[in-house]
Amino acid sequence: MKNILKRFIAVFLPFRCHACSETTDFGVVLCDRCLVKLQGLINSPRRIEDVLCSFPIYTLSSYDSLMSDIIRIVKYRPSLKLLMILAEQCQKRGRLKSLVSADDILVPVPMHSDRLLKRGFNQAELLAEKFAVAAGCRFSPVLERIRATRPQADCDENDRQNNLEGAFAIGRGVIKEMFAGRHLILVDDVVTTGSTLQKCCEALQPLRPAKVSALAVSHSFRRTAGIIPAAV
Ligand SMILES: [Zn+2]
């Protein structure tokens, strides 16, 4: 009976892997082949160098074509289910305790309320929450994006810095003493030039952290505006 129902659903409600378009069971957003490939892409945190940041940035994966597709689909489709799969695999395979200690605090890169309303979730916040569980530390969305900005990928070199000017601030009601002297680790899905993380780090300074680092799932190399598709 279950198999008949399954076949019926497959015929009338075909479902496909979000990454490779292979037919899958209803509700399965990543096929087994893509899942295995994704698992092989996630490593321990590795420091990256070619970014414009005054503090260390670590990533869990290189920007393989599947990883870049998954990150883009999560954001632009958008797909919370695919984000949950990505977060879970990072939890299992990212060896986060090798970078994050129990006293550290994970801080997601914030999203403006307009975009949050449109997308329904902030992928950086969900990743930070899951990373904190895996690392056994605290998670705190202490920063706010107080001004809507264009995606950095859509800006040219001159616009990039101005685009983020005054975009981030400490949220109202934050008890600053809880963050003083602590190692704060910014979390995002992907880092490109590092300018967003740099601005977030500057916005964290009133909390007087001992140290700021950043952890992203992946590192995308700089691209010219217009190459990244606006939607998938
Ligand atoms: Zn697939």
54-104 pLDDT tens trace: 999 999 998 888 999 999 999 999 999 999 999 999 999 999 999 999 999
The answer to whether 176 and 205 are in contact (CB under 8 A) is: no
> Rounded to 5, what percent of the chain is helix, strand, coil?
40, 20, 40
The answer to whether 53 and 200 are in contact (CB under 8 A) is: no
Angle CA 107–188–103, to nearest 5? 30
Cα of 228 to ligand 1 centre, how many Å?
21
The answer to whether 59 and 49 are in contact (CB under 8 A) is: no
- pLDDT over 90 (residue 8): no
Strands 23-24 and 168-170: unpaired
Cα of 87 to ligand 1 centre, how many Å?
17
* Residue 146, token pair as written in the block: 């107080």
| Residue (of 216, 163, 165, 212) closest to 192 by Cα position | 216
Question: 3-state DSSP call for residue 181?
Answer: coil
* Residue 107, token pair as written in the block: 């801080």
pTM summary value: 0.88
Cα of 74 to ligand 1 centre, how many Å?
14
Cα of 75 to ligand 1 centre, how many Å?
18
- pLDDT over 80 (residue 24): yes
Tell me what the mean pLDDT of segment 40-54 comes to. 91
The secondary structure of residue 19, as a DSSP letter, is T
With tokens 């101005």, the residue in question is: 162
Cα of 77 to ligand 1 centre, how many Å?
16
Cα of 197 to ligand 1 centre, how many Å?
31
Show the DSSP H helices in the chain as ranges. Answer: 2-12, 32-41, 65-76, 80-93, 113-119, 123-135, 157-164, 195-204
With tokens 């309303």, the residue in question is: 117
Tell me what the mean pLDDT of segment 46-58 comes to. 91
Cα of 231 to ligand 1 centre, how many Å?
19
186 DSSP β-pair partners: 107, 214
Cα of 32 to ligand 1 centre, how many Å?
7
One-letter amino acid for residue 24 of the chain: T
Quick one: pLDDT band at residue 13, thresholds 50, 70, 90?
Answer: low
Cα of 37 to ligand 1 centre, how many Å?
9
